[in-house]
Structures are given as C-alpha cells and as structure tokens.
Structure 1
C-alpha cells in the first residue's frame, strides 16, 4: 500500500502515490476541515477513501502497458497532473468528498494549468463534455491516444460539476469573472500558494469598513518566497543575481543559500528583541543584504519599512517617528554613478532629529566608505550576523491580514503616508501577476530595473519573482554612465532575462545618448520576450522608439501605484496579448473595476476626461489602511467619491475601453475656462525631432487664468536656436491641440527634476515659476537640479 500520512506546514492528510506509465501519479486527501484537524470517525472515513483509491491506482499500475503519458509529453499538448480530494461541509452538515483534477499543458511553449473540479454526486456525462471541450480547444483529435487517456483518467464514479478553464480563458472572460465573482476568482488563486492554515473567509470587511482578504488564513511570506522552493527540490536553482557595475560585481545566490542567509539574519534580529509585529527600518543601497533584510523581517513576522538609501535626514527622521522601529538596518554608503554617498552621517542626524530612538543600528561596512560606529547602539553587520550565539530562525506563522511592510509615499508637503501591505493578499496577488501579467514562471529570469525603496522594488525585485520561483536580478547601476548607454542591453543578454520592467525615463536617457541604439547591436537579446514600462506615462515617441529598436518584442505599458502594489491596468502577457495603443496601458487588470468620474461623481462616457477611480472592493494586494492613521486613509482616498478609490490620476477611456492616463489631477490646467491635460500637450512637444524629453506645466496668467509652458531637453548633437524651436513647437501644438491651448513659451533646460522612480516634479516646477513657496520632496533624485533649474528659468525671464 502507498498511503502516506503527511504532516507539515503546507498539508496535513494522506497522500497516495503510485508509478503509472513511468510517471509519479499522486492524490492528496486532506484531514482538515475549515482549518481544523479531523478526528475520530471523520478521520477514519478519509483514510478509507484514500485506501480505496490506492487499490484502484494499484490496478491501473498493473494494467498500464502503453506509453500514453510519454506520448502526451512528446506531443506537447497535455498531461494529467493529479487528483486532489478534500471534504466539503454542506449546509446540512454532511461531509461530501470533492475531487479536483489538474491538467498541465503547454501552449505556445508556456506551461499553463487547467483545473477540473469533480464531484461524484455531479451531473452525468459532464466529465466527457469537459474533455471534449478541452481537446477541441487544444486541437487534439478524438481518435488520438491523448484523448482516450484523458477520458480513462476520470474516476468511474466521479462527474464534473464545475469546469474552471482559467488557462484557456481569454482576457475578457477572466476580467469579467474577477468582477462578478471576486471571491471565487481569488479563492482559486489562493490555492496556488502554501498556507500553514487555509483562509476561513475570502473577502470581508473589518470593523472600520475596510475590505480584507483571506481572513483566518496563516502563512509566512518568506516561506512562500524561499523555503517552499527548497522543499520542492529547487534549492540549487538561482534565486537572485546581484549585478553591480558600480562595484564591478556579479554574484549568484541559490534558493538554498538565500534561505540559510535569511534565516541567520532573522535569528540575529531575534537576538536584538525583534519579534512579530515589531518594526524595522531598512535604509540601504541596492545590495543583496537589502533583500535579505526584508525577507528576514518577513520570516519572523516583523514589519519592515524600507527607506531610499541616501534620503535626507529630516525625511528619514519623520519615517522613524512614524514607524517607531526597534532596529534600523543600514549601510556605510551607496554609490551613484562614480559618486559615493555616505549614509551613516545622514542616519545619525536623523536619529538626533527624531523623537523615537531605535535600540540598535546595524551597519553593512562597504569598502568604498567605512562608517564610524556609535557604541553600544551601532553594530557591525558581519559580526552581528556571524555571532556564534545566533540561532537561525524558523518561519513564524502570521495572519493573512497581518502587515508585511510599510512603504511611505512621496509627497511634497506634510507627513508622509505609510502605505500598509498585508501578507496574504500580497502573496496571492503577486504570485498571480508574475505569470498572468509578466508571462514568467518557475525558472524564468525576471528583471525590474528599480530600487528597493520604491514599490516596484518591493513587489518585483524581491517578493513577486521569488514567490513564483523565478530568478530575480538586483541591479546596482544606471541606464547610462555605468559605463555607457549599453548597460541595460548587457544585463539583459548576460543573464538571459525573459521579462524586463523599467520606467520610461530610463529609455529616454538611453535614447538621448544613443538615439540609434548602436550599443544594443553588441548583445544577444534572444531570451527577451516582454518589455514592460511603468512609473510614469509612456509617451508615444518613446513607445515608437522602443518598437523600432526591439522588433518583435511586445512593448507593454502598465499603470499602478504604491497604494495598489501591483498593476491596475495592463496588457496581460501570460493570458492574451491584446492590440496596443500608443499612450495607453491597455485594459484593467482582474479585480480592478475602473471608472471615470466628473467632479460631481457622475460616470463619464468614452473619450471624456475626468478622475480615474476604482470601485470597491480593491483586489488582493492593495493597501487596507495607512499606518497609524485610518482616518487619513479614508479622507485621502475614499471620501471624495464614496465607494470608489480615488487614484489621484486623471484620464479617459476610449470607445474600446482602453485607459489613457494623462497625469495627476494636479496636472490638469484651466486655460480661459477650458480644462486641458498637460500630458496631451507633452505628447505633441515630444514628437519634435530635436526634443529628447519634456515637461509641460501650467503657469498663472492674468488674462487666461493658466497657460502651458514647455521645459525641454534636447537630443545630443541637435543644432537649432531656442527661438526657432519655440516657434516650431507653438505651431505643432496649435495644429494638434488647437489655438485653445495657448501654448506660447518653451525653455531649453539641461535637466528636469525627478524622483528616484523617474517621475517628473511638475508641481515643484510650477510653483517655482509662479513664485510660490514649494517643498522639494525627499524622493528627488538629485537636489542640485533645483538650483540649476531656477538659475536657468530666471535667465529666461520666466520666474515671477
């Protein structure tokens, strides 16, 4: 008999395992009901079912002589993966066995999964109908051995009651399913991650009225990211590649190595008194220790708050006061191009300014700059980590609704908002997004060229790829000058990246230095299948430039926010690639019911610009609150249009439902009573052959209220006078937008102020030109640009 009792964090019950046709065929019979273990007669009943099934499989094992499974694999169409049995409690109180069959198939070279739910009290003949439908869709002949084998695999007494063909559904079906049955849709996705205890409810509201996902479920995000892959036999697979042109370093870390390292650091944190629910601020550069620090916090249930390395001391102090961390993990320095930025003096000043004082600071000493340590508060990372008294930490089970991290949003004024991310919804959503949106799966190499201090770094450098079992790239460098504009092409080729994600501003920098993409010709990009961009609008000129220089590779714009944690609007590479439209991130992602409202909350029709909102509930992975200030959460995001999440972005949907995000609501200007989007004008200005990058802002005007003004960066080697350029741009805007825009002024600048995530600081520039007081946000990439820009604008006579 091949019936085994399994008892581990992922499963408690019996496993039946047999070798049939050279393949391992196994079924699982759960001994849990509603998260509780079965005992007595119920346990005996499940064991009896398992033993009967083992006897049936034993018979199949003896009778099977053909090579059906081998043919299925060679034919590359499909193969039976196994049957899962669980007990479902009916309303009457009786227990009904429910079976599920998983069919793994390859479609266009990608592994997809079809789940067939079976119930032995179901509809006669439904199994045959399901197989017919499946085989017709896959163009499998009903005379083939594959077809006959699929029919033969059905348990004789089991019939299909529900056939969920998610892998074979197109975008429209999947999206509609996510809106009409959000609980069913996300319950299916929740089954794909390892739970210590399954959720008791899929979706409900807490006492504050906030929507919460997977309440009652217990898991650990570090286990999902690391340990589960080691347990599955993939410990030697590469989990993380550290590529640092800044230090001329490339290093590979396997899942086993990263798990052991993370457990050690987690144990060291526990020795400092850090436990479940405690906060840890991480103020570090793009080095492997940063990812390990995040995962180590998750491992013990601590809540991490990553702050951009090099942030100004007052900004760091505000975050320390808000998060009140027990420990700060930091490094001696970061590297920006060829410039070393010392972190420790900034950290010391921030702690002096802050009311809250962390118990300890642990410092990674980098060879580029050694930091002076303040004893006994400060500890050297290497000595702290390697202390022989440190006991590597096991994964601590946390509730699905427990916080995983706090990430502060960039703001120009006031106290920063601490976006909270929970554990359960985050794991389910990101795991889903890796395959469905980014088109990658176990073993694929994925690269998000971002910083861990930004939400992209959290979601798609650290957590998302590791949840899915992918290899992730941690890059300490820039798109240019590390060493040249071919840096990204080199990384893509060297590490065989399949799916790449970066902000458009990076490509504009590359385009400016290498407009004909000559440096790309040195590299083999045959492994690159998808190019994703986000973080700011993908302007049409950059989109067309990418299309020209990455032929055959889909250029996928997608739109999301720190608050949502993953894409709100996208072209889903792992589901169905739809037609793209320049300037649009395509259609809403599953779970996001996006609407366009006017100022009175009335829904607008196609091509009418207004506020972009999302109807509640937001899907898993979205933020449930602001850290320590739920009233602010409601006031900032839910009060203007009750029942709708206010994104703060303005835009419209066209007649096909495609979303066009024209910029922040603040970027809508009023010219003589006409509301115009600066993004629309920017599109026209950016089309000029001499313009490498631009920003259009609305400035105060006595007669018109506001008028647009362009700030321009020119392409290298361009020879045109400022007067001629301005005249040509005025003509272009008049022809493409209309005289109503009243565009009359354009100023050439050397640089535009941006956040480190690539967003142009339009509000700062607008206030600067209008002579108003402004606050430089802590997220600015280079604060020296502000004085430089002010000098240029004063010389041009535009600052009031």
Structure 2
C-alpha cells in the first residue's frame, strides 16, 4: 500500500482501515522481526489497544545503527549549542553510535538489563541524549525528570518507577546562576522509600559533585556513585531486540490528585508514528536540520529533539539555554542561521518572551534566516497577536498545532508534507492528523454543532505512538481517559470546531494548569499551601498570563486567631512551593481572603474564581451558598492587582 500524498486521502485511509494504513507506515522502519497480521489488537482483560504486537525492533538501532549502515555515518546527527557555556559540539551518526554503545556497555556492567528502569535528571546535554539512547539499546526503560523539579517531586517518581540507576549531571547552568543537581538527587533518594543501586554523575567543570564511594546495599558491582566518564570505558554492546509493545520510556505528567501519572510509550508504535510525522507533519527530509527549542524532560524533547529527528536521519539541534538572556533575545535566530535550520519548533511562551525583550524584532536582522521554512508552535494555545508577530518577523508560515504528553505526537496540525492541506489560521490548532478522529462532545457524549464549545475527545482506537496505558496503573488509565466517554479517549481539554473544519483548543477543563508548557496540578499546590500552620483552607487558580499561558495564584483563608502579616505569609508560601515543586511552578502571589466561594455541598468554585480573575463573563452558579463572597474576593484581587483583568486595567 502506497502512502497517500494528499491530506484528504491520508485521513480517510487512516480512519477507514487504520490497521492497513499503519501497516504501510510500519514498512518505513527496519524491524528485526516484522509484526504479524493484524497489526492492531486488544489486550485480554483490559481491552486496551496495542499496535504491532509480535514485532521486534530496537529504537536505538533505528536512530543510530541503521543510518550508519545506510550511508549516514559521517553526517552530523546532533549539534549541541550552549551559549551558557559558550560551547558548540557536533556529533556524527558514527560518533553518537560509538558513545551510545559504550555507555550501554557501562550500564550493563552496573546491572542494568532489559526491563529495568533508569531515571535521568539532567539538563540539555549530549550525554543525556546518549544515556536515553543507551537505555533503549539495552531494552531498559528510561524516565527523564525535568531538572527544575524539587527533591520531593523526584522522590515520588523514584518510588513509582523504582529505577535501578539514576543518571544525573553535577549541575545545571543558567545565565545568572549555577544549580547543583547532585545534592537534590541525594535529598530525593533520602526521601524515597526505593533506593537505587547506583547514581551515575556527569561532572561539569564549573560545579564538581562529591561522589559517595560506599557500596549500596543492593549492589557490590561498583560504588553507589559512579563517574559518567567511567562508563564510557566499557566495551560496546549491540542493540537488544525488544517487543514492539515493550515500554521505551515513562514520562510523568501531573494528575488531578497531585500524584503524577506515568505515561508509557511503547517502542513499535512510537517509532512508526514519529518517523511518519517528520515528513508528513513537519515537512523535513533526511539530512536536513530540525531544531526543537524545548527540554528533554518534556514530551517535545523526547519526540522532537531526540527520537523523531534521529529516526528520520535528520540533524537535530540540542540547545542549552533560554530564548532570552543567553545572551539576548536573538539567540534562536542565531541558532537557525548558524546551523542551517529548516524547521523550528518551540512554545508560544518562548516567542512571547522574545517579543517582550525585542518587540521590533531588531535582533533577527543580524542573521540570514532564509534557510527557515516553518515555525511550529505547541505547548499551550498561541494567541493571535503572538502568531501574527512571529509570521511578520520571519516571513514563513507559523503553524500552531496541538498534542499532549499522552499522545506523544501531534493530534491537530497543518501538515506541510501533504498536499491539499487547508492553510494555518491564527488561533486554530489546525485539522486532525491522520489516525486521530477528533470530536467535540457535550457532557452526554454527543457531538455538538460547529462553533459550539465542548469537550475534546478522540474516538478509539488511538493511532500508534499514543500511550497504551499508565505505568503499572491500568485502573487509573481507564478512569482518567476512557470512562468519561465510552469508546473515546478524553483529552481533558475544551474547544470547538468551526464551520470550515478548523479546531480551536481553549484549555484544560480540570484543575491541571499549563505554566509555560509545564502541566502542574493545582490540587498538589493547594495541598502544600494548606500544610502551612497559618492556613485554614485555600484555592489555587490558574489565571491567564501573557508570557506563560497560565500562572498559579493562591487564595488563602487564615485560621482563626492568626495575626500573621500577609506579606510575610506570602513569602513563606512562595518559598514552600519552590522547595516542594520547584521554580517551574512560577508561584509568586498569594492573597488572604476571609472565605472562599463554595457550593452548598462544600465544593470550592475554582472555575468561577478563575473567570473572575481573568475578567471573563460568567453565570453565577445556582448552587453558590453566598454570592456576596465573590464581591469580597473581587475587591481583594483588585487591591493586589491579581489576575489578568486587573493587570489590564492597571496597564491601560
């Protein structure tokens, strides 16, 4: 079956006979043992869908060995560009393979084997990419934890994944500070019930970590702490064939209960989907350069810094730094110029930050950007003003598209690799990617008319690459995603489809907020605020933020008799969230209120509070116990200039 080259044909084929459509795409990758027919099946007991059962492959082999064996050994695979350390390093496919095979050998000597878990706690470094690929080479399951998370959050993930080894850098570096990582890892291990056998430490010259020479209780193979470079002295190992349905990695995303959900990505579906997406969605060809301005701790970093470009035979740019202040708001434009980037993918937050510091885009004029063909945006909805600004500045199509950690690759997009695709439109995430039957439903699970806002769901089966379940928690996978609308995956987002078929995603409908691409649980933040001895109860709102999409603001009710100064309380609450969750939460404001609006059954009206803060119109809930409470809170929000509505009023 030849792959359809038009969007209409590809989408129709993927929905009419998904097994046949994806079987054809599976032919684009090299299998050790090709999957039998049918390529789509369901697990006994749970009924969860699985792709390519019976197929055997290795993702590290597909990213490295395959290209070395087929003429790309001397092509640049990875460009590491770090303005914070003023370093640029290039690795060919052969060099990256050699490093990965030897590091995998070192991990094997530490006891890491097929099915074991390994946690990575590292910045955007080539050594982190090598570690991810080395885990995949062994059939081990990696879980990358974003380096900004606090020890408590890391400890939760250690106890859930139960890794044999943790791999960390000695420190991270930002333009104005050094962040030692090893003490945070040691603190997390101390808090966790599960104790990894080894910690592999990449020493960075500007901040050397102290290594623990003692042996762990579980292993006498080596000291508990091992230098990263020591593992590179091992003999190289070949790629281990794994089942297509075996997990490649676990990536944790916030849940509404405060306990993170371990999204599982399998090997077979992941490789097929990402390989397809590179040409069909992003329009890049093998040998061209792709730059995703993200972090390897995010789904974007997994899919489009590491795996997608390497599966496709591209050159990928790994950037250590920020879009601004490293050294300035022109750093992305320099990257595009220096490395001949064809496609760039980043978050609207990054473009807004650049626009804030260089509103006229003057820094872009220092560079020849004629190599750039497309700018893709995702992570949170891109506002039309930012969309138009970027398009006018760069003179290329700006494409806002939508996906989730759970999906692993885009669900809605303007697919530049297919013909007859409707053009991108400001405010819209585009049209459904082949394989995704995206629908807007009402609360009863029925489709709503065009232009009507509803709940975004995807009819089952999901295409390859999406999560098959959660790590060791089938019941939570069922309740979180499948129970709301039987026969559908519920995304947790709200949105609408217009009369011309364009989809608009308006944001989360639960209490998970999106702060500059980080999905954070307001319930978890509330739990921490409520632990303060002066706080009786609280509510955390994800209010609109021009830079980060959303940011959390706390409303707290003091315990009776508390005379604590509000300024001091706010400082302590900010410090508490920074310690327990990390700076990524961007929690910087808390206000004391006399009481919180609730329904008669005692449920806090968080949505109403957020609408009030954002200046949105809302219908007063009929179940509210005392409408006057909202007036009191509005006065507090206005006095403190908390919320987009009051910020706008002040600026005008």
Work out whether the TM-score is over 0.5. Answer: yes
Which residues of 2 match residues 523-672 of structure 1 at below 5 A?
Answer: 523-551=367-395, 553-576=396-419, 577-666=421-510
Deviation string, structure 1 residues 22-42 (Cα, Å, up to 9, x no partner): xxxxxxxxxxxxxxxxxxxxx
Cα distance change of structure 1 residues 778 and 259 upon mapping to structure 2, 3 Å threshold = farther
Deviation string, structure 1 residues 58-115 (Cα, Å, up to 9, x no partner): xxxxxxxxxxxxxxxxxxxxxxxxxxxxxxxxxxxxxxxxxxxxxxxxxxxxxxxxx6
TM-score, with structure 2 as normaliser: 0.81
Cα distance change of structure 1 residues 476 and 709 upon mapping to structure 2, 3 Å threshold = closer
- Which protein has the bigger strand share? 1
Cα distance change of structure 1 residues 226 and 711 upon mapping to structure 2, 3 Å threshold = closer
Q: Do the aligned residues in 2 keep the contact of 1:304 with 1:406 (CA within 8 Å)?
A: yes
Deviation string, structure 1 residues 653-695 (Cα, Å, up to 9, x no partner): 0111110001111489xxxxxxxxx99xxxxxxxxxxxxxxxx
Q: CA deviation at 1:333?
A: 0.3
Match of residue 42 from structure 2: 205
Deviation string, structure 1 residues 713-736 (Cα, Å, up to 9, x no partner): 6xxxxxxxxxxxxxxxxxxxxxxx
Which residues of 2 match residues 647-726 of structure 1 at below 5 A?
Answer: 647-666=491-510
TM-score, with structure 1 as normaliser: 0.66
Match of residue 358 from structure 1: 196
Q: CA deviation at 1:385?
A: 1.8
Deviation string, structure 1 residues 527-559 (Cα, Å, up to 9, x no partner): 1011100000011100111121121x1111110
Q: Tell me the secondary structure at the aligned position of residue 501 of structure 1.
A: strand
Cα distance change of structure 1 residues 317 and 710 upon mapping to structure 2, 3 Å threshold = closer
Q: Tell me the secondary structure at the aligned position of residue 384 of structure 1.
A: helix
Q: CA deviation at 1:440?
A: 0.6
Cα distance change of structure 1 residues 486 and 600 upon mapping to structure 2, 3 Å threshold = same
Cα distance change of structure 1 residues 172 and 769 upon mapping to structure 2, 3 Å threshold = farther
Q: Do the aligned residues in 2 keep the contact of 1:284 with 1:329 (CA within 8 Å)?
A: yes
Identify the match of residue 477 of structure 1 among 304, 321, 326.
321
Q: Do the aligned residues in 2 keep the contact of 1:612 with 1:649 (CA within 8 Å)?
A: yes
Match of residue 555 from structure 2: 768
Match of residue 186 from structure 1: 22
Match of residue 418 from structure 1: 262
Cα distance change of structure 1 residues 468 and 778 upon mapping to structure 2, 3 Å threshold = farther
State whether structure 2 residue 142 is matched by structure 1 residue 304.
yes
Identify the match of residue 460 of structure 1 among 304, 314, 329.
304
Identify the match of residue 286 of structure 1 among 124, 127, 132.
124
Cα distance change of structure 1 residues 653 and 770 upon mapping to structure 2, 3 Å threshold = farther
Cα distance change of structure 1 residues 234 and 783 upon mapping to structure 2, 3 Å threshold = closer
Q: Do the aligned residues in 2 keep the contact of 1:412 with 1:777 (CA within 8 Å)?
A: no
Which residues of 2 match residues 232-247 of structure 1 at below 5 A?
Answer: 232-247=70-85
Q: Tell me the secondary structure at the aligned position of residue 408 of structure 2.
A: coil
Q: CA deviation at 1:475?
A: 0.2
Q: Distance in 2 between matches of 1:709 and 1:320?
A: 28
Cα distance change of structure 1 residues 430 and 785 upon mapping to structure 2, 3 Å threshold = closer
Identify the match of residue 330 of structure 1 among 152, 168, 176.
168
Q: Distance in 1 between matches of 2:544 and 2:299?
A: 28
Q: Tell me the secondary structure at the aligned position of residue 308 of structure 1.
A: coil
Q: Do the aligned residues in 1 keep the contact of 2:543 with 2:550 (CA within 8 Å)?
A: no
Cα distance change of structure 1 residues 667 and 378 upon mapping to structure 2, 3 Å threshold = closer
Q: Tell me the secondary structure at the aligned position of residue 152 of structure 2.
A: helix
Cα distance change of structure 1 residues 787 and 539 upon mapping to structure 2, 3 Å threshold = closer
Identify the match of residue 225 of structure 2 among 374, 379, 388.
379
Name whichever of 467-476 and 366-375 sits farther off.
Answer: 366-375
Q: Do the aligned residues in 2 keep the contact of 1:410 with 1:778 (CA within 8 Å)?
A: no
Cα distance change of structure 1 residues 456 and 384 upon mapping to structure 2, 3 Å threshold = same
State whether structure 2 residue 12 is matched by structure 1 residue 171.
no
Q: Do the aligned residues in 1 keep the contact of 2:3 with 2:10 (CA within 8 Å)?
A: no
Q: Distance in 1 between matches of 2:641 and 2:350?
A: 29
Identify the match of residue 317 of structure 1 among 152, 155, 158.
155
Structure 2 spans left out of the alignment, 5+ residues: 215-222, 515-521, 523-538, 560-572, 593-612, 614-635, 644-652
Q: CA deviation at 1:579?
A: 2.0
Match of residue 129 from structure 1: none
Q: Distance in 2 between matches of 1:586 and 1:778?
A: 39
Q: Distance in 1 between matches of 2:207 and 2:369?
A: 36
State whether structure 2 residue 260 is matched by structure 1 residue 427.
no
Deviation string, structure 1 residues 107-143 (Cα, Å, up to 9, x no partner): xxxxxxxx6xxxxxxxxxxxxxxxxxxxxxxxxxxxx
Q: Distance in 2 between matches of 1:782 and 1:412?
A: 20
Name whichever of 575-584 and 359-368 sits farther off.
Answer: 575-584
Q: Do the aligned residues in 1 keep the contact of 2:150 with 2:578 (CA within 8 Å)?
A: no
Q: Distance in 2 between matches of 1:709 and 1:392?
A: 48
Q: Tell me the secondary structure at the aligned position of residue 510 of structure 1.
A: helix
Q: Tell me the secondary structure at the aligned position of residue 420 of structure 1.
A: strand
Q: Distance in 2 between matches of 1:475 and 1:227?
A: 24
Q: Do the aligned residues in 1 keep the contact of 2:256 with 2:511 (CA within 8 Å)?
A: no
Match of residue 218 from structure 1: 56
Q: Distance in 1 between matches of 2:363 and 2:642?
A: 40
Q: Tell me the secondary structure at the aligned position of residue 430 of structure 1.
A: helix
CA RMSD of aligned residues (A): 2.7
State whether structure 2 residue 66 is matched by structure 1 residue 228.
yes
Q: Tell me the secondary structure at the aligned position of residue 252 of structure 1.
A: strand
Q: Distance in 2 between matches of 1:269 and 1:255?
A: 21
Q: Distance in 1 between matches of 2:509 and 2:543?
A: 18
Q: Do the aligned residues in 1 keep the contact of 2:33 with 2:57 (CA within 8 Å)?
A: yes
Q: Distance in 2 between matches of 1:628 and 1:351?
A: 21
Q: Tell me the secondary structure at the aligned position of residue 341 of structure 2.
A: coil
Structure 1 spans left out of the alignment, 5+ residues: 1-114, 116-163, 669-677, 680-696, 698-705, 714-751
Match of residue 448 from structure 1: 292
Name whichever of 608-617 and 571-580 sits farther off.
Answer: 571-580
Q: Distance in 2 between matches of 1:579 and 1:233?
A: 36
Q: Tell me the secondary structure at the aligned position of residue 796 of structure 1.
A: helix
Q: Tell me the secondary structure at the aligned position of residue 428 of structure 2.
A: coil
Match of residue 156 from structure 1: none
Q: Distance in 1 between matches of 2:384 and 2:557?
A: 29
State whether structure 2 residue 283 is matched by structure 1 residue 496.
no
Q: Distance in 1 between matches of 2:446 and 2:81?
A: 49
Q: CA deviation at 1:770?
A: 8.5
Deviation string, structure 1 residues 253-290 (Cα, Å, up to 9, x no partner): 00000000000000001001111000000111111000
